[in-house]
Amino acid sequence: MGEVLALVEARLRTALGEPDARAAVTFLGTDRIEVLRFVAGDLVRYATLGMSAQPMADPTAALADPVKGPRAELVLTVRGGLADTDKVLRPLAVLAATPQVEGVIVAPGASLDVGEPLWPGAAFSSVLVAESGGLVEDLELDAPMDPVRFLPLLPMTSNEAAWKRVHGAQALEGRWLARGTDLRDPLRRSVQLD
């Protein structure tokens, strides 16, 4: 487990630079989850470290495979200085613990909800999980382990989350693109959905 996390942290440092802050959260019955903060110009990136220590298990499987299965970490990017986004550390750790706590596999297209604003005053309590491979390349591990995927999180308003449930992740992403939505703006409001 420690070896995987050391490789994950090295990949994050290679892609995003040196973290300027880190915090750790441990929930009862789960492994420790760290959140690292990286600042690049006016962008602040938060990345989880610890979610990939264990493979995510299929909730319908009788036994969880301790080696094989999808592994991931979460990455959130916002514009700095506009809101108190550092308060997202605990919600991010909650999202990263979801596979251990709820026995779900976090994959692109999924919605994750923390049930409260991601940071004070945020219009978002949920996120859309996007495709990996952009900002931080997937990390190949020795066989038979699956690679670690670094999944971007796109904050969603409650209206966007409800619309996504009906129309799907691709349709919502298309709506954001068509309207030129700045998904990194921590103060943005819901995209027009009609």
| pLDDT digits 0-9 by tens, 98-143 | 998 888 899 999 999 999 999 999 999 999 999 998 899 999 999 8
| Residue 12 predicted with pLDDT over 90 | yes
What's the pLDDT band for 1 if we cut at 50, 70, 90?
low
Please, which residues have CB within 8 angstroms of residue 127's CB and are 6 or more apart in sequence?
76, 95, 111, 112, 113, 118, 153, 154, 155, 156
| Residue 87 predicted with pLDDT over 90 | yes
pLDDT tens readout for residues 25-75: 887 777 889 999 999 999 999 999 999 999 998 767 767 777 888 999 999
What's the pLDDT band for 192 if we cut at 50, 70, 90?
confident
- Please enumerate, as own/partner, the contacts of 138-147 that have beta carbons within 8 Å and a separation of 24 or more: 139/7, 139/8, 139/11, 141/4, 141/7, 141/71, 144/67, 144/68, 145/4, 145/55, 145/67, 145/68, 145/71, 146/55, 146/68, 146/69, 146/70, 146/71, 147/71
The three-point CA angle 79-14-109 to 5° equals: 55
**pLDDT given at position 9:** 97
